[in-house]
Amino acid sequence: MKFYLFLTLPLTAAFTVPTTKSVVHTSKPSTFALHAESAVNGADKKKVIVLGGDGFCGWPTSLYLSDQGHDVVIVDNLSRRNIDTELGCDSLTPIQSPDVRVQAWKEVSGKEMKFVNLDVYKEYDLLVQLIKDEQPDSIVHFAEQRAAPYSMKTSKTKRYTVDNNVGGSNNLCCAVIDSEVDAHIVHLGTMGVYGYGTSGGEIPEGYIDVILPGGRESNILHPAYPGSVYHATKCLDALLWQFYQKNDNLRITDLHQGIVWGTNTPQTIKDERLINRFDYDGDYGTVLNRFLMQGAMGVPLTVYGTGGQTRAFIHITDTARCIEIAINNPPKAGERVEIFNQVAETRRVRDVAKLVADQTGVEMNLLPNPRQEAAENELDVSNRKFCSLGLDPITLDEALFNEVTEVVQKYKHRCDPTKILPASFWNKKRAEECASLDPNSVKINGAASKEAVKA
């Protein structure tokens, strides 16, 4: 019964509610059924390589693109699964091996997807050969270490994150040039490249009008203002895209994405073997998903500091839709890097926590902040480009919260409560302030808690 929720959402027509505080376009959650009609055929069908296609965003995106009729090749070296082992955590949902996933998709949809185990950073020659062999129209690049907390954990994880992310992006540009395939690169960046609340107004899409000393007007990349080593890699990526576009005429789109929430999409719910990854731990769990998980488990919500941080959010189903929109709207040869803000709305963390607390009855727990960041910030973001290209974004919605809660309930026996508190600290001072946090103090309500501890 659980999965029918998506199909029973009301068939509301798309409409836009302008808000006074922010120009982010919001709308009622749209039905997934509406989008099934846009399936491609003939000339619209694209060959797409999805780098990082085993991950939280990459897997549902691969399924969506395949479902739409595109020809998908997944590349991943399973580094994320290795990091789970290193951290002693696991996805709350039981994700299957890539082979089982691809086979299950074939049984469910009749569609073939290839899986290639390849390290984008370490196996350059294989990457060039793959691009030559596959002749892709587009290459979607999700293959980076994506947790800000993990990137701040130790000097080893800082160095790994910079090497892997910047090295991988540079490899991709070189490989597209060496293979002589005119593939459109679609990269996942982050809203964090802009800094939070530093531009004094609405954050534009990538470029900002400035007046240079001497009075000349210009339109330049928005200043980079990263808040972690992870975010710094996305800023460095952006400079690489700018350089290789200018120097080699590569066609590149950079998508500055907000925090992704949700777990299932209309494709992943078709078979339990297609289930998406769900990270709940202090390092990889993203904020709304962590709260939803904690709410469902009866654990007080781990709000950092005052919860005054304002962040941008997007539902996982929209991540996949946005990627297809980007693929279908490549910049022309010679055009500068296309940049979209891939967000649905902005919300303050404590307001998000309150929504979850009201729905589940759990309390909010204001913890010392493990991150070096402003306690409070405003955030207004433009997302006009995606909206003008037909995205009707899904906003925070209780029906969709319930869907996540049901997933969590189903797999709560797999949760290790000692992984819920923050486990990475931005600097010495923050680590000292968080010294009182005891991972073993977190207890799960309800009958499943005994099994949970040994899971």
Ligand X SMILES: NC(=O)c1ccc[n+]([C@@H]2O[C@H](COP(=O)([O-])OP(=O)(O)OC[C@H]3O[C@@H](n4cnc5c(N)ncnc54)[C@H](O)[C@@H]3O)[C@@H](O)[C@H]2O)c1
Which residues carry out catalysis?
190, 230, 234
> Segment contacting ligand NAG (CB under 6 A): 52-60, 61-69, 76-84, 243-251?
76-84
Closer residue to ligand X, CB minimum distance, 141 or 270: 141
Q: How far is CA 70 from the centre of its chain?
A: 21
Q: Give burial (CB, 10 Å; 0-12/13-18/19+) of 374.
A: middle
Find the binder of ligand NAG among 28, 47, 122, 413 (CB under 6 A). Answer: 122
| Residues 157-176 contacting ligand X, CB under 6 A | 164, 168
Q: What one-character DSSP code corresponds to residue 258?
A: -
Q: Which of 276, 301, 300 is nearest to 92 (CA)?
A: 276
In the complex, minimum distance from the CB of residue 75 to ligand NAG, in angstroms, rounded to a whole number = 12
Q: State yes or no: residue 144 binds ligand X (CB under 6 A).
A: yes
CA dist 40 to 46, 51, 74, Å?
9, 22, 19
Crossing angle for the helix pair 349-360 and 398-411, to the nearest 10 degrees? 70
Find the binder of ligand NAG among 16, 82, 247, 441 (CB under 6 A). Answer: 82
Query: From residue 241 to residue 280, what is the string marking binding to ligand X with x (rule CB under 6 A)?
Result: ----------------x-xx----------------x---
| Residues 187-206 contacting ligand X, CB under 6 A | 188, 190
In the complex, minimum distance from the CB of residue 122 to ligand NAG, in angstroms, rounded to a whole number = 5
Binding partner of 302, given ligand X, ligand NAG, none, CB within 5-8 angstroms per partner class: none
Find the binder of ligand X among 76, 205, 318, 380 (CB under 6 A). Answer: 76
| CB 228 within 8 Å of CB 426 | yes
Q: Give burial (CB, 10 Å; 0-12/13-18/19+) of 182.
A: middle
Find the binder of ligand NAG among 67, 119, 318, 324 (CB under 6 A). Answer: 119
| CB 262 within 8 Å of CB 400 | yes
In the complex, minimum distance from the CB of residue 48 to ligand NAG, in angstroms, rounded to a whole number = 22
Find the binder of ligand X among 29, 55, 295, 422 (CB under 6 A). Answer: 55
Q: State yes or no: residue 80 binds ligand X (CB under 6 A).
A: yes
CA dist 418 to 291, 304, 360, 385, 422, Å?
15, 17, 21, 42, 10
CB count in 10 Å sphere of residue 17: 9
Written as six digits, the tokens of 297 are 């488990």
Q: State yes or no: residue 54 binds ligand NAG (CB under 6 A).
A: no
> Segment contacting ligand X (CB under 6 A): 19-27, 74-82, 220-228, 408-416?
74-82
CB count in 10 Å sphere of residue 56: 25
Ranges of H-type helices in 180-274: 229-248
Strands (E), 222-344: 252-257, 259-261, 301-304, 310-315, 338-342
In the complex, minimum distance from the CB of residue 11 to ligand X, in angstroms, rounded to a whole number = 28
In the complex, minimum distance from the CB of residue 109 to ligand X, in angstroms, rounded to a whole number = 21
Q: What one-character DSSP code corresponds to residue 215?
A: S
- Cα of first residue to Cα of last residue in the chain, in angstroms, is 26
Q: State yes or no: residue 121 binds ligand X (CB under 6 A).
A: yes
In the complex, minimum distance from the CB of residue 296 to ligand X, in angstroms, rounded to a whole number = 19
Q: How far apart are CA 199 and CA 211, in angstroms?
A: 14
Q: State yes or no: residue 54 binds ligand X (CB under 6 A).
A: yes
Written as six digits, the tokens of 440 are 């073993």
Find the binder of ligand X among 30, 48, 49, 52 (CB under 6 A). Answer: 52
> Segment contacting ligand X (CB under 6 A): 139-147, 175-183, 369-377, 430-438?
139-147
- Binding stretches for ligand X (CB under 6 A): 52, 54-58, 76-80, 119-121, 142-144, 146, 164, 168, 188, 190, 257, 259-260, 277, 286
- Binding stretches for ligand NAG (CB under 6 A): 77, 79, 82-83, 119, 122-123
